[in-house]
Amino acid sequence: MTIKHALISVSDKTGIIDLAKKLIQYDITILSTGGTAKLLSEAEISVTEVSDYTGFPEMLDGRVKTLHPKIHAGILARDDLSAHQEALDKASIPNIELVIVNLYPFRQTIAKQNCSLNDAIENIDIGGPTMVRAAAKNYTKVAVVTDPQDYSLLCEELAANQGSISLATRFELAKKAFTHTAAYDSAISNYLTALDTDYRHKDFPDSLNLNFNIAQHLRYGENPHQKAAFYRDETITPGSLANYQQLQGKELSYNNIADTDAAWECVKTFDSPACVIVKHANPCGVAIAETTLRAYQLAFATDPTSAFGGIIAFNRIINADTVEAILKQFVEVIIAPEITQEAQQLLLQKNNIRVLILPLQNGHHHYDLKRIGGGILVQTPDILNITVADLKIVTKIKPTAQQLEDLLFCMASCKIC
């Protein structure tokens, strides 16, 4: 499928000038909407504005730009039906073989602290999703690109196929496009159904739409007879496990991921250098100390038997001394905000150990979810760290400062149990 006409309408204009220059090299005619057309024109790229192409000006403050038969017939006409092509020829409508569209920044808008309902409504894209869905539906003759990160793929395909895009690539781009519009509509639904009749925000939306993208196929699930996969939330929370970078070791298993998440969420709770060892979803050793080495030694001493084959998490950079101590036991996963170069070299002695680093950032999922038969339980995350000031002493015998400190440590440790 040789591309002759491309329609470009993007809110996120990252990389669009360089891409348009590439398209011109293949004699592709570019159609574009107002802001994008102006940007391309200022970059001295030949472009036809959509309003000039359709013969109908943008109206209603830009709410109506691309909703026109000359646009959508050019996108939706099937190449296997002669009647479709005859209809285009009769109406003098050329085929549009490439659609490059990304949508109004709805999520970014509602994330702003003082976002009004009117601001949110005006950032609901209408023409963009319509073009994206039309192009994705007709992927057998149209390529649709919704993510600037796919511009390089598009250019590679054009170079490899003399100005064409393969059917396999068009299908992959179409799947991504439908996923993109589904997530966009989900965000709108979640936002609007979380407003009451007086437009005040409720704790929970009436409809909760969740979007996750597959990150990894796992060898098996909690048990060997179960199949499993790991999906990442489309909006990843800073500091959450899904952001991990793996330095070495085998792929994480289902149980590795679950236990590592428990260890990481626990160790993040502490302000002092801390070590948490988790086995079978529960901590078998938790300690705070002056150094990571001492914290590890104390955590391991809590239950050395259960710590065998466990997950070890730290909330500080770990050094060679700490790693030397860890290597004396069998461990599945080590996770820390950072690992020194010397420590990394030591870990290579046992290259099957899964070693992860993850910046220690404050961030929490908007909701905690728990699957039950036929539904999910939803709650706000437990981010409360109780301090001495929150405690009310009601006994005749008052606890010592050390006892209070121990109590608060235990309460923090038990949050993930």
Cα(306)–Cα(142) distance, rounded to whole angstroms? 57
Cβ proximity of 71 and 48 under 8 Å = no
Separation of CA 95 from chain center: 34
CA atoms within 13 A on the CB side of 5: 18
Cα(343)–Cα(312) distance, rounded to whole angstroms? 15
Q: Which helix (H) or strand (E) holds 360?
A: none
φ, ψ of residue 380 in degrees (nearest 5): -75, 150
Helix axes 69-76, 127-137, angle to 10 degrees: 30
What are 16's two structure tokens? 């669009």
Q: Beta-carbon neighbour count of residue 207 at 10 Å? A: 11
Please name which of 331, 335, 319 lies closest in space to residue 241, comparing C-alpha atoms. 335
Residue 72 is among the residues annotated as catalytic for this protein: no
Q: Catalytic: which of 112, 217, 280, 366?
A: 280
Cα(40)–Cα(248) distance, rounded to whole angstroms? 45
Q: What are the strands, taking DSSP E only, across 108-207?
A: 143-145
Q: DSSP 3-state assignment of 315?
A: coil
Radius of gyration over alpha carbons of the chain, in Å? Answer: 28
What are 416's two structure tokens? 């993930």
Q: Catalytic: which of 4, 68, 137, 365?
A: 137
Residue 364 is among the residues annotated as catalytic for this protein: no
Q: Beta-carbon neighbour count of residue 168 at 10 Å? A: 9
- Which amino acids are annotated catalytic? 137, 280
